[in-house]
Amino acid sequence: MANALYPSAKVALLTEAFGNLSSATLKAILVDDSYTYSASHNALDDLTGTLGTAEDLTGATVTAVSANAVFDADDLVFTGIAASETVQAVIIYLDTGTPSTSLLLGFFDTGVNLPLTTTGADINVVWSSGSSKIFAF
């Protein structure tokens, strides 16, 4: 599976449901290999196989680069993930405080050193420094 934006997020972005992503409450969570991406998933409560605690996505920016809108944020550190887990992907979502209304934004399983088997040490997610950053469209 390649990195993908959830269709519901694309619609929401295009209709400004998120407001300004650079000031929205965004979080990221890890999922294990029991989770299978589905375009029909749209809220946090659709996820299975979550690992640990969601991390705040800080330093978010939205910039125009050439013909693209580019989204970027600070790199992440996940702590407290037990050894021998398989981290398949990082999922970014808009946190409303309620899982059934917290909109899934993106599924990222490539370009961030995934999948990986945990050792009990911190997991560092380093976003791309290329022109597309976390994502662009």
Q: Using one digit for the tens of pLDDT, what is the confidence trace for 8-67?
A: 677 567 456 667 787 889 999 999 999 999 999 999 999 999 999 999 999 998 887 777
- Please give, one letter per residue, the 3-state secondary structure of 58-84: CCCEEEEECCEEEEECCCEEECCCCCC
Q: How far apart are CA 129 and CA 30, in angstroms?
A: 21
pLDDT of amino acid 71? 87
Q: Using one digit for the tens of pLDDT, what is the confidence trace for 53-79?
A: 999 999 998 887 777 778 899 999 999
Q: Using one digit for the tens of pLDDT, what is the confidence trace for 88-124?
A: 999 999 999 999 999 999 999 987 789 999 999 999 9
pTM, entire model:
0.88
pLDDT of amino acid 18? 64
| Alpha carbon distances (Å) from 42 to 18, 33, 37, 99 | 14, 19, 11, 10
Q: How far apart are CA 122 and CA 120, in angstroms?
A: 7
Flag whether pLDDT at 83 surpasses 60.
yes
Residue among 96, 27, 25, 89 at smallest CA distance from 56: 27
